[in-house]
Chains A and B, each alone.
Chain A
Amino acid sequence: MAHNQISPTSAQMGLSRDEELFALREMLLIRRFEEKAGQLYGMGVIAGFCHLYIGQEAVVVGVKMAAKEGDQFTTSYRDHGHMLAMGMDAKGVMAELAGRRSGYSKGKGGSMHMFSREKNFYGGHGIVGAPAPIGAGVAFANAYRENSCVSIAFFGEGAANQGQVYESFNMAALWRLPIVFIIENNRYAMGTAISRATAQTQCHRRGEAFSIPAKQIDGMDIRVVKAAASEAIDWCRSGKGPYLLEILTYRYRGHSMSDPAKYRSKEEVDRMREEHDPIEQVRLRLLADGVSEEELKKIDASVRKIVAEAVEFATADKEPEVKELFTDVLM
């Protein structure tokens, strides 16, 4: 990638073969799920906004691999990958995308608004920038309860221009909250390239003003993501306060389903897909390590099966009962 990067040392970077296999499976699950979601959108099963995570899989999977049981994730509307990585059931996510009663929000939330307290997933937010203070609030509760959990908040490089993000940085640093702020820098906010909206495009440098340690890393290489995230999460867990990671990544698809695709060249997209694909990198390493093509095919088949079952479940599921219109407004 063209950006300058600070990478963790290679000693920290290696993943065991089992970890590589795990990473491959998790990333493939997200990719296949998202491909299916895109198709279902075209068929009218999913409606409204639907922001796909294809291309960015290594970010959330790498961070999740570095996290511990009990650590919480908060993100914005490009959230399907985060939910799958957190272990939320593909069926429940797909049913929600379809607006059905067995969805995580009983069909009332949709693609952008899903939550699972059980899986420590705090949304799913439609308003850009919101995950920063909300994630800091979750971290506040962790500190308050002294439960040694770390809150991890993801938001885009476009969202990183929001004032609420800096108010959160300040308070998180002031109160030493256990939170990793993750800027998923995929270079574009809808049709706006980062350099057209951001004076200081090295997003990680924004930690300095708040004395928040920060790193910029290659988010297409899951080894780098996992190593950097481990360092960041350990820092937070040891009570030293927040940490900022700028993770350089790329979305292959349009911003949402309807995207004019005129703000970047097809060549740029193709080049990222062909030369930096996070899944392909792991696949090639595994093959070089002697894992057979058959074994990898089996993983893909098992993932496709999970996705196919999720689609079947979601499309067979009913719409919410009419009485649900008035439930859940107040406790």
Chain B
Amino acid sequence: MSINILMPALSPTMEEGKLSKWLKNEGDSVRAGDVVAEIETDKATMEVEAADDGVLAKILIPAGTEHVAVNAPIAIMVEEGGSLDDISAAPSSSELTKNTHSEEISTPHSIEPDAAPSSTRHPIDAPEIPAGTTMISMTMREALRDAMAEEMRRDSDVFIMGEEVAEYQGAYKVTQGLLQEFGAKRVVDTPITEYGFTGIGIGAAFAGLRPIIEFMTFNFSMQAIDHIVNSAAKTLYMSGGQINCPIVFRGPNGAAARVGAQHSQDFAAWYAQIPGLIVIAPSNARDAKGLLKAAIRNDNPVVFLENEILYGKSADVPAIEDFVLPIGRAYIARAGEHVTLISFSIGVIYALAAAGELAKEGIEAEVIDLRTLRPMDLPTIIQSVKKTGRCVAIEEGWPQCGISAELAMCIQEEAFDYLDAPILRVTGKNVPMPYAANLEKLALPSIEEIIHSAKAVLYRD
């Protein structure tokens, strides 16, 4: 009997990796638990262990092969003294190696990779990017890194501080290369002391520096929320306008994949409630770059909410030397007549996917990407709702006192007479995030739910 050794996954979002080294040769006896090979991605390395005792009969993927798909057989084991008979039928290594380079981080919720907002550009957006601008495709991770690097080159008061941002190159590799370029004075590794280093960052900002504080994830900003709210947001007001706080708090927010309740939550609504803060949540690499640069230059505290699942997604980013987008402006990611879908961050990706499906049934949805949550671009929202008369708000966070709750209130205050149906919302369910795969999927907003709600406000089924 033979057993395939499969290419393991280093994380639930990994799709492929490099088989860097074989530590056993064909014909070697192997005990369960022995390390047989090493694999790596751009983020990490891992040792592949044999799960059973036996003999490594055949290596299917040679050392050094890149882009080996997760779960592809990489070797065949047989029982001690077993035969190699059926091994000739094994697939060749080239069949098992994907030649396309796909992202290391992909979305687990069946989102079309081409759902990035590119389809229809609304006129209000035109001034931001001049016609004929050269575009470069890059991941959101690269866009964020470039934004920080450019601003650090431009202004020596800008520095970044956080856990694992320097030597480790960022827990999610967003600060890759910054230590090498800017040195340890400006790329500062901290102990795991969020409350303390957030306070230190705020003090430095009061004193005129322009810190970027990275939270490994926004879950850990809960330890520092006192300083964000009580120190960063309020001091300008409390000092009668004397002391401002030019600081950016950034990092991944919202659900990642399968990391459970304490590591999967969307804090957009929490921060968006606080006077004295600016809150930004981009959905694509272009906006991430333009808005992070704007955030770093802004003289106020900015909470910049990224998303781990989007880090590996690519979009066209203008190759303009100083590409800065305006804070407080929504973006019409897709124009349509029949219903307005409003969201931000990863919710926009769901909304665009839903809009694509709805279009097949003749429903043209307009998708608004809020981009900035505080201040909110109400004119763009109201204009759209006045046109369509119907609205569905989408967010990954919990419904009570959420961004969609706020949107519904604003719309009924300003456009009640234009509404042809009640506003609906698609949100994360009212529960802590479950770990089990099936429950996690149900806890998150889905494309199907958006389609269903869009049809409901159109009274179609």
Contact = CB atoms under 8 A, between A and B. Distances in A.
A43 B9 CA distance: 7
B138 to A, nearest CB: 22
A257 B438 CA distance: 22
Given A42-B48, A48-B259, A99-B258, A161 B9 contact: no
B434 A259 contact: no
A244 to B, nearest CB: 18
Given A38-B49, A107-B434, A320-B434, A257 B11 contact: yes
A126 B164 contact: no
A325 B429 contact: yes
A35 B49 contact: yes
B22 interface: no
Nearest to A126: B262
Interface stretch (B185-193, B328-336, B407-415): B185-193
B436 A100 contact: yes
A99 B436 contact: yes
Given A35-B33, A258-B46, A319 B439 contact: yes
Contact of A320 (B71, B220, B436): B436
B8 A191 contact: no
**Residue among B6, B48, B263 with the highest chain A CB neighbour number at 10 A:** B263
Given A113-B435, A196-B189, 9 more contacts: A41-B8, A43-B8, A44-B9, A96-B435, A107-B435, A110-B258, A113-B260, A192-B167, A198-B191
Contact of A159 (B192, B256, B439): B192
B262 A158 contact: no
Interface of A: 32, 35, 38-39, 41-44, 47-49, 96, 99-101, 105, 107-113, 125-129, 158-159, 161-164, 189-192, 196-198, 254, 257-261, 263, 319-320, 322, 324-326, 329
Given A48-B12, A192-B164, A260-B168, A319 B192 contact: no
A110 B193 contact: no
B456 interface: no
A307 to B, nearest CB: 10
26 contacts: A41-B9, A42-B9, A42-B49, A43-B8, A48-B263, A100-B436, A107-B434, A109-B260, A110-B259, A110-B260, A112-B260, A126-B260, A128-B220, A161-B191, A162-B192, A163-B196, A189-B192, A190-B163, A190-B171, A192-B164, A196-B167, A258-B10, A258-B11, A260-B43, A260-B169, A325-B434
Contacts of B436: 99-101, 107-108, 319-320
Contacts of B191: 158, 161, 189, 192, 197-198
A325 B259 contact: no
Nearest to B193: A161
B43 to A, nearest CB: 6
Contacts of B443: 325
B343 to A, nearest CB: 22
Q: In terms of DSSP, what is the predominant structure of the interface of chain A?
A: loop
Contacts, number: 171
Interface in B297-314: none
B261 interface: yes
A80 B431 CA distance: 25
B116 to A, nearest CB: 25
A109 B257 CA distance: 13
A41 B258 CA distance: 12
Interface in B187-218: 189-193, 195-196
A320 B438 contact: yes
A158 B191 CA distance: 7
Interface string B437-454: 111001100000000000
10 A-B pairs with least C-beta separation? A42-B8, A110-B435, A126-B262, A48-B258, A107-B436, A47-B258, A99-B436, A258-B44, A161-B191, A47-B12
